[in-house]
Amino acid sequence: MSYQSYSLHQLGWRTTLAHDLTLDDFESAYPARITAVHRDGVAVLSSRGHGHAVVPHGLHADVGAFAVGDWVMVEQSADRVFRRIQRQSLLARVAAGETHAHQPIAANVDTLFIVTSCNGDFNPSRLERYVSLAMQAGVTPVMVLTKADMADDVAAFVDSARAIMPGIEVRAINALDPGSLHVLLPWMVEGCTVAFVGSSGVGKSTLTNLLTGDVTQHTAGIREDDARGRHTTTAREMFPTSHGAWVIDTPGMRELRLGAADEGVAAVFVDIEALAEQCRFGDCGHDGDAGCAIERALAEGVLDARRLANYRKLQRELAGSRRSEREKREHGRQFNAMAKRAMQDKRERLGRSR
């Protein structure tokens, strides 16, 4: 890895980021970009070069407080994060388990390379989730189909990928061949940030190495029997590329649970949402109701049953996540009310004893 320093422009600074800053911020601190998040602080890059900045306890309280790609202000006098600058975009998922905590994947990303392979990993329902994630965050999704060198019918994979969302960009690639890198170059613009996501073993780190022109990231073969990877990459990290763009490599995901991604899901399933508007009744349940445009499209073969089932599944998940958010808020309200009552009781008791 090189230890050179970068100008703000090279690091991807946008003038809009400064809207969140005051003159005071600039007097005592300087902007830096997070390249990795560690337990005891963050790795940063700035006009001063590479550095490590500790995160004061109060700032770290929130699990998702910092993400790779975040801009932060670092104190001039100490290598300490002063505060985070408002994000332009955030890719986040809901952590596994019952807590529904949001887990950041990467911040300030321009393009999300959604990586899958032309093999058993290819799964349209999972890809619809990834594209929803990008659309929700306002990040451009690009579908990257690796292992094109190993498939008999690459065109069939490309066609299925194109059907995920109208107008989505799809590129098939052999990530082992530096000569095929040109298909990703349109998004490798100076100061822009791209991130790779996808299952383990699809070639995210192989592509990262190709773009950085380095072998910084370890890669490993997949299991022959089921095409599954071995979770080789374990941390998210951002690297410079020879094209001046930034690339974020991430660990392979087992599942992608969406949080409040209503708009993202609606953007991916515009076809189904448009059909629903053509149903005869406004409150159509799309389940045996008369004049249902969705059922008609299914019967005519215009709409794929798998796609509709996934849309319904995602709608149920979104409703679940709205419910859990409401419950969290309600819980907070009950707690506040209880604390207020306790304070009142105490005041009354004190008043009586005087």
Nearest to 324 by CA among 63, 90, 99: 99
Q: Are 146 and 276 in contact (CB under 8 A)?
A: no
Q: Which of 222, 247, 272, 308 binds ligand GTP (CB under 6 A)?
A: 222
Q: What is the DSSP letter of 179?
A: G
First to last CA, the chain: 71
User: In what order do the strands lie in the sheet containing 81-84?
Assistant: 49-53, 41-46, 29-38, 71-75, 81-84
Is 279 part of any known ligand binding site? yes
Residue 160 vs 232, nearer CB to Mg ion? 232
148 annotated as belonging to a binding site for a ligand: yes
Q: Kindly report the backbone phi and psi dihedral angles of residue 182, in degrees, each rounded to the nearest multiple of 5, phi listed first.
A: -55, -25
Contact mark string toward Zn ion, 107..146, x via CB under 5 A = ----------------------------------------
| Residues in 152-211 at the binding interface with Mg ion, rule: CB under 5 A | 204-205
Task: Please give the DSSP secondary-structure letter assigned to residue 317.
Answer: H
Query: DSSP label at 246?
Result: E
Tokens linked to 118: 């032309």
How many helices (H) and strands (E) the chain has is answered by: 9, 13
Which CB, 16 or 234, lies closer to Mg ion? 234
What phi, psi does 316 have (nearest 5°)? -65, -40
Min CB(188)–ligand GTP separation in Å: 18
- Binding track, positions 169-208, relative to ligand GTP; x by CB under 6 A: -----xxx-----------------------xxxxxxx--
Choose among Zn ion, Mg ion, ligand GTP, none what residue 202 binds, the Cβ cut-off being 5 to 8 Å by kind. ligand GTP
Judge whether 299 and 275 are in contact, CB under 8 Å: no
Q: Which among ligand GTP, Zn ion, Mg ion, none contacts residue 279 (Cβ within 5 to 8 A by kind)?
A: Zn ion
Could you tell me if 139 and 89 are in contact, meaning their C-beta atoms sit under 8 angstroms apart?
yes
On whether 147 is known to bind a ligand per the annotation, the reply is yes
Q: Which helix (H) or strand (E) holds 140?
A: strand 140-146
Residue 205, annotated ligand binder?
yes
# residues near ligand GTP by CB under 6 A: 25
Q: Does 238 bind ligand GTP (CB under 6 A)?
A: no
The total number of residues shown for the chain amounts to 354
- Our CB check for Mg ion shows the closer of 108 and 233 to be 233
For ligand GTP, the binding residues in 242-261 under the rule CB under 6 A are: 251-252
**15 is an annotated ligand-binding site residue:** no
Tell me whether residue 100 or residue 231 sits nearer to Mg ion (CB atom): 231
Residues of this chain that bind Mg ion (CB under 5 A)? 204-205, 232-233
Residues of this chain that bind ligand GTP (CB under 6 A)? 146-147, 149-150, 174-176, 200-206, 219-222, 229-233, 251-252
